[in-house]
Amino acid sequence: MNDIKSTQYLSSSPFGVGGTYYVIIPAYNEEQFIAITLQSLVEQTVLPAKIVVVNDSSTDKTPEIVSAFAKEYPFISMVNNTSDAIHLPGSKVINAFNKGLASVDENYDFIVKADADLIFPPNYFESLIQHFQSDAKIGMVGGFCYIKKNNDWVLENLTDKDHIRGALKTYRKATFKQIGGLKPAMGWDTVDELLCKFYDWKIKTDETLHVKHLKPTGANYNKTARYKQGEAFYTLGYGFWITAIASLKLALRKKKPFLFLDYLNGFWKAKTAKKPLLVTEEQVEFIRAYRWKKMKEKLK
């Protein structure tokens, strides 16, 4: 099996870190895609030591498909989770991820949160491990997501070279621990990167690693989710003006300009309700300074 090869490959790091990685996949009614995703993982040039699929109250054939893979590949397992069927961004998926995380030991060097609708290129994780091993300060690495349009695979418009998509996060163990894991709230895939910066970890994106995203981000979100983005900006400690700029940018990128008003509405609702922040006051100060700095750099 290739996992023997992976153990040999992993011992060459100049920083004393290996390349053992665990993949945790939250899955809710993913019978259309989960087999394709798992197949791309078992064909990696460096295999994961463990793949845990969290069956998050699926009502389709997702658990049967995962069980079939688990019978063939001993490093694949399934955990069942009970949750609400409403797919709001953040809480549902991260609660499921955390259920999977609780089921594994800590004998990993890197932890992966992956969606159940991805096709990874065969060298994806080998390449990620090489990035991690090249620099001890790299805390997160990820490739770029592509979606299918008119029979062509095109870069998903939410992709940014300074941001790793929530669909395919890979963390160094020390980084994951220091940022406190993943927050079960909208904005989890932004606060993790901001906290990486706060603790002086580097974030690396590799545009040569093209991951096929079979279902566009947010395709199953409930309509009320549009207000959650503004709430997320508030809980990240952005403040009004950074929220306004970020909301406008995101609405235009999604080609839905009226979302700007929904985002601001969500922000004010969260502020009025005094929703708890995801970060400390010290981290808020850092985040605001960092965001203003990045905006000024882009203007130049």
Residue 145's pLDDT is what? 94
We report the CATH number of the domain holding residue 164 as: 3.90.550.10
Residue 221's pLDDT is what? 47
Dihedral sign (CA 36, 255, 159, 181): negative
Q: Give yes or no for residue 263 having a pLDDT over 90.
A: yes
* Same domain, yes or no: 206 and 288: no
Give residue-wise pLDDT tens across range 68-96. Answer: 999 999 999 999 998 765 556 678 899 99
* Same domain, yes or no: 170 and 249: no
More confident residue, 254 or 20: 20
Neighbours of 286 (CB within 10 A): 18
**DSSP H or E run through 125:** helix 124-134
* Same domain, yes or no: 107 and 202: yes
* Same domain, yes or no: 238 and 193: no
d(CA 104, CA 84): 24
Residue 47 lies in a domain: yes
- For residue 109 the two structure tokens come to 């060097």
* Same domain, yes or no: 15 and 162: yes
Q: Which domain covers residue 80, as residue numbers?
A: 2-213
Residue 256 lies in a domain: yes
- For residue 225 the two structure tokens come to 């989710």
Given 213, 241, 273, the domain boundary residue is 213
**3-class SS at 266?**
helix
Residue 250 lies in a domain: yes
State the total domains in the chain: 2
Given 213, 235, 264, the domain boundary residue is 213
d(CA 107, CA 190): 26
* Same domain, yes or no: 189 and 243: no
* Same domain, yes or no: 10 and 73: yes
Residue 220 lies in a domain: no
Mean pLDDT, the chain, integer: 89
Query: What pairing do the DSSP bridges indicate for beta strands 76-81 and 110-114?
Result: unpaired
d(CA 176, CA 165): 16
* Same domain, yes or no: 197 and 114: yes
* Same domain, yes or no: 97 and 239: no
**79 forms bridges with which residues in the sheet?**
54
Residue 219 lies in a domain: no
Residue 105 lies in a domain: yes
* Same domain, yes or no: 253 and 121: no
Q: Which residues contact 204 (CB under 8 A, 6 or more apart)?
A: 131, 135, 138, 140, 141, 142
